Structure 1
Amino acid sequence: MRMVTAETVDGQTRRRLATRERLYEAAVALITERGYETTTIDEIAARAGTSRRTSFNHFPTKSDITLEWARRRRALAADAAKAASPRGDVLERLRAYFGELASITEDRPTETREMLFGYLRACGPVLHPSPMSEELAAWLGDADLPGTGGESRLTVAGELLYDVYLGALWRWMRDPDPRPGAFTAELDAAVDVALGGIAASIGAGH
């Protein structure tokens, strides 16, 4: 009988994570190239060099891949926000957060469009609310700003920022040939307006 050691488990974990990463990268590449609807799990598994069954073990449906894609984008934006304001200026962090999301979108427009189409077709924000609004509300709550005693107001503020982001994103997606930088400019302006209103409301304790 083979003895299972910590090193064996670690090796198994590393291999499993490596397989999951190959599947994810293959899926994003194929969906970007061919579109969400026409990309199949079999094609994803083949490009990743693994089996269909293994693919299902990591991502039971294509929609799970789009959810992972959205999670990774939020994680990159959160890292950029923390780097922008190590001392924790919440408004500066939020601007950096949305600035990073805009930068990713501008750098990867085709990927963004196809993955978002897939997300909407597969599950959409109604059935699977994004954790983004909760994360944003938590940042505002952690800032210890005047007047933040009402949890419901923080929740509304987080939802408002999420809605501002989605609104700018949907308008950008409707344009078949958006001007470079257009999405960033619109999102920056919309977030500034929203943050100004949130800061005034929280500061006044309304």
Structure 2
Amino acid sequence: MSSKSNDLAAYIYHTVGKLQDGYKDNSSWAKERLATLRHVANRSIGDSPETWDVLYDESFPESLIGMGQNPTRGEQAAFLTLTLYAVNQQSKRHGVHVKTEKGSRPRTLGTAVREFATATGTELFDSSLYRRFTAMVQSQTIEGVAHHLRSLIKLFRTQDSILLDYGALAKDLYYFQDPGRRKAVQLNWARQLYQSPIPVTSQK
């Protein structure tokens, strides 16, 4: 597995964990940073200088920092993951991010979609939820994935039981940008949807 993707996941677990802990502790710093990240959720990294102090803090891996005019896959995945988390966390009393423990089934996108359908009594395969998920899976650009992901995250936010492993999501978004790995990511997302829902665990 790519060392860069592992660096990215470690960074996301650290940064999202810090934001989530601060949010639950009613930290003004965390609330302000999350509000800023939500505000730029539809923008690019280059158009969002107000987020750079969060994105490029001392824990951001040097292996992911680019030298050219465009963001690297790692920078793109990190920025998108942080903004999605900020959208998801809004107005919640509990944390919406959970790190998958070794030996446990990961809290993936597909699992979240299936859990949402179960929680809301939605007929999964004949619903706008399913159509949004398949549109995301079939996207060929990271911009397309981001658009559909934001739509799904806003739905997840309406149900307290839906949790996501944002470190795992960041890895997916990193590999999606590699044309040689994109189909594998898309197939994995589709497979996740067909797994049985996992029991709701205690929210951290």
Q: Report the TM-score range of the alignment, normalised by the length of the smaller protein.
A: 0.3 to 0.5
Q: In proportion to residue count, which structure has more helix? A: 1
Higher relative contact order (CA 8 A, sep 6+): 2
Q: TM-score, normalised by structure 1?
A: 0.37
Q: Report which of the two structures shows the higher radius of gyration computed on alpha carbons.
A: 1
